[in-house]
Amino acid sequence: MRPATEALIVIDLQNDFCPGGALAVTGGDGIIPRVNALLQDFAVRVLTQDWHPKGHRSFAASHPGAAPFSVTDMPYGPQVLWPTHCVQGTHGAAFHAGLNADAAQLVLRKGFHPGIDSYSAFYENDRTTPTGLDGYLRSRGVTSVTLAGLATDFCVAWSAVDAARHGYDVTVLEGATRAIDLNGSLATARRLMRDAGVKVEH
């Protein structure tokens, strides 16, 4: 067991991000055995869960004529318009059945504000509205975080960069993540993580 100052944050290992889901990440369910093993190795264990209300503004279906994966301008900046996914209370929003979700001490739901998306486990996409995760980790004495989950180039990377910005020692286990790689987004995410001081390991 690792020291109590180290936390594992597993990002959005939900049905809609796994094969067969509405926004499937190729091979997304392939990381589950490793994630389950990691959950046994950390004293502080957090799962995040994308948790959108129906008609969320980040859904392409909420913008008549807009194609999925196109980009629109929101009050907080550019926003990719996604296929409808992880709607509250649906099978797609549930954790994958293979994930040992019972091992989590905190399940942090994000993306529940109807008008703003939330990639990072720490902030909504306006980059100012906090999720409360930083306060939780600090109250538990955490100084370093390790991230796994989906997807490498969006929610994992944004969470890692924000964690580094808050002063945590941050490691992303890329072998325990999978990427969407939308228009070069994986290379961009790797660069942003490196520039933020995030360690990327396999």
- Let me know if 199 is a catalytic residue: no
Number of H helices, E strands in the chain: 4, 8
Residue matched to tokens 């996409």: 125
Identified catalytic residue from 16, 50, 110, 153: 110
Identified catalytic residue from 18, 50, 86, 155: 155
Terminal alpha carbon distance of the chain: 20
- Let me know if 54 is a catalytic residue: no
Phi-psi region of 77 (alpha: psi -120 to 50; beta: other; left: phi over 0): left
Residues of 12-31 as b/e, b for ≥16 C-beta within 10 angstroms? bbbbbbbeebbbbbeebbeb
Please give the positions annotated as active site.
12, 110, 155
